[in-house]
């Protein structure tokens, strides 16, 4: 039995497209499950948290209020008076009842009378750019970017509640990338690669079939011409 030209390529194309589509669907389902479990992710839009998070990095968060927030946590915060559209990503350096201060030229901030060690700063020699002294009201927090030379944070808003934000504005706390998100991302890349490969193989199958049809027509024409002679 004569095999249709390009048939094997066509079968490979269907298999690759089906597998790629299955993986893509699995990524969608896995991501939905992770969101249901209280996780989300965001692309970092600015350099204010550099070097901890660079512009374009993906940051992962556990969703929830600010009840479990601690000093040193990186929080996803709803602050429409700061950023009308979207959320802000900042580090919590002081909470209600804390006194946080800085005197121009000092090597560190001072938290409750104790020098605050901040190994995460982009420039540890410049923990702030201007002096301030704030006692954080209860239920509020003082937040800063790790890139103190390029961050719109509590220091810039001292005339409004001493630059503090309500703890209730916290939407999520930054965490290491959940394994499920990493697996979903890897599967998604594989799925895309398989779909692209399947499309390429399918195109090759069409080319082979087209050539075979043209060859068949030429042979038929040749046979007709031979009979006519």
Confidence band of 85 (pLDDT split at 50, 70, 90): confident
48: annotated active-site residue = yes
pLDDT above 50 (res 33): no
173: annotated active-site residue = no
Mean pLDDT of 73-96: 94
How buried is 192 (Cβ within 10 angstroms: 0-12 exposed, 13-18 middle, 19+ buried)? middle
pLDDT of residue 203: 72
pTM above 0.75, yes or no: no
User: For residues 122 and 148, is the Cβ–Cβ distance under 8 A?
Assistant: yes
Nearest alpha-carbon partner for 177 in 65, 39, 53, 56:
39
Interatomic CA distance for residues 211 and 207, integer angstroms? 6
- Better-scored residue on pLDDT, 187 or 207: 207
Choose, from 41, 43, 46, 48, the residue flagged as catalytic.
48
In the chain, where the domains are located: 7-36+180-228, 39-175
Nearest alpha-carbon partner for 13 in 160, 157, 178, 195:
195
Among 22-36, 52-66, 122-136, the minimum mean pLDDT is found in 22-36
Phi then psi for residue 221, to 5 deg, are -60, -45
Q: Which CATH number fits domain 39-175: 2.10.109.10, 3.30.565.10, 3.40.50.720, 3.90.440.10?
A: 2.10.109.10
- Residues 155-170: tens digit of each pLDDT: 999 999 999 999 999 9
Choose, from 41, 67, 78, 90, the residue flagged as catalytic.
90
pLDDT above 70 (res 212): no
Q: What is the mean pLDDT of the chain?
A: 80
């Amino acid at each position: 039995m004569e095999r249709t030209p390009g048939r094997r390529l066509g079968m490979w194309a269907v298999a690759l497209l089906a597998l790629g589509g299955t993986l893509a669907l699995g990524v969608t389902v896995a991501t939905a499950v992770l969101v249901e479990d209280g996780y989300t992710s965001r692309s970092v839009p600015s350099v204010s948290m550099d070097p901890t998070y660079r512009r374009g990095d993906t940051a992962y968060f556990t969703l929830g209020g600010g009840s479990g927030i601690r000093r040193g946590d990186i929080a996803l915060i709803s602050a429409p008076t700061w950023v009308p559209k979207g959320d802000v990503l900042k580090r919590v350096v002081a909470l209600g009842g804390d006194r946080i201060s800085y005197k121009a030229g000092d090597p560190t901030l001072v938290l409750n009378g104790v020098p605050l060690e901040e190994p995460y700063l982009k420039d540890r020699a410049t923990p702030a750019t201007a002096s301030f002294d704030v006692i954080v009201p209860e239920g509020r927090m003082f937040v800063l970017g790790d890139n103190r030379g390029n961050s719109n944070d509590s220091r810039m808003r001292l005339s409004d509640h001493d630059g503090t934000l309500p703890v209730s504005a916290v939407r999520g706390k930054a965490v290491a990338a959940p394994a499920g998100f990493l697996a979903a991302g890897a599967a998604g890349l594989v799925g895309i690669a398989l779909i692209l490969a399947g499309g390429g193989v399918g195109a090759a199958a069409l080319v082979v079939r087209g050539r075979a049809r043209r060859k068949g027509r030429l042979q038929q024409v040749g046979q007709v011409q031979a009979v006519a002679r």
